[in-house]
Amino acid sequence: MNKNNATKHSKFLSLVLRHKPETIGIELDEHGWVDIDILILKINDFGKKLTKEELYFIVENNPKKRFAINETNHKIRANQGHSININLGFDPIQPPEILYHGTAQRFLERIFENGLEKRNRHHVHLSADKATAMSVGQRHGKPIILKIKALEMFQDGFQFFLSENGVWLTDKVPCKYFNKNENND
């Protein structure tokens, strides 16, 4: 499978596994899982040709590790980023002292007024490193990295979760937890 086809299929998988499973007529279970054979059948019925081997290739080679296959290799789900109601089953975990959020400079005014909000997603996504945050921010315009006092948030009662692909998740980040003097350094 060439890189261009893998990217197209990955984006389509993100659509149906994170946002609109009804696009191809599948239903995700309460934790976001769907049977791989049913997924392949429905994708092919929809007119997008995909084999099980190609699906495994996409999961294994996706640079952002967006998808997970269960331990029996029969089900697949998106690791995070859902706009539909599912329970990923993550246990709360203590974050490192600092996490990062990549965004575009054009969003800063709203962010500095309201904090980071999950909006139509289940969680705010944070990174353990600046490079990942920068990569995320570049997708939306001129990138800015916000430095988040995650451990302080945790100590103040906020919950954090760590997805299978290393993305830190929380419900919101109030402005008081931005380390404004050190952002984008």
The pTM of this model reads 0.72
Token digits for 78?
A: 């998106």
What residue spans define the domains of the chain?
3-78, 98-182
Under CATH, which number does the domain 98-182 receive? 3.20.170.30
* Burial bucket for residue 22 (CB in 10 Å: 0-12, 13-18, 19+): exposed
d(CA 107, CA 5): 32
For residue 5, name the pLDDT band (cuts at 50, 70, 90). confident
pLDDT tens-digit profile of 113-150?
999 998 877 789 999 999 999 988 888 889 999 999 99
* DSSP state string for 42-75: HHHHTT----HHHHHHHHHH-TT--EEE-TTSSE
pLDDT digits (tens, 9 = 90+) for 47-91: 999 999 999 999 999 888 889 999 999 999 998 888 888 888 889
Instruction: Tell me which of 3.30.70.260, 1.10.10.970, 3.50.50.60, 3.40.50.300 is the CATH number of domain 3-78.
Output: 1.10.10.970
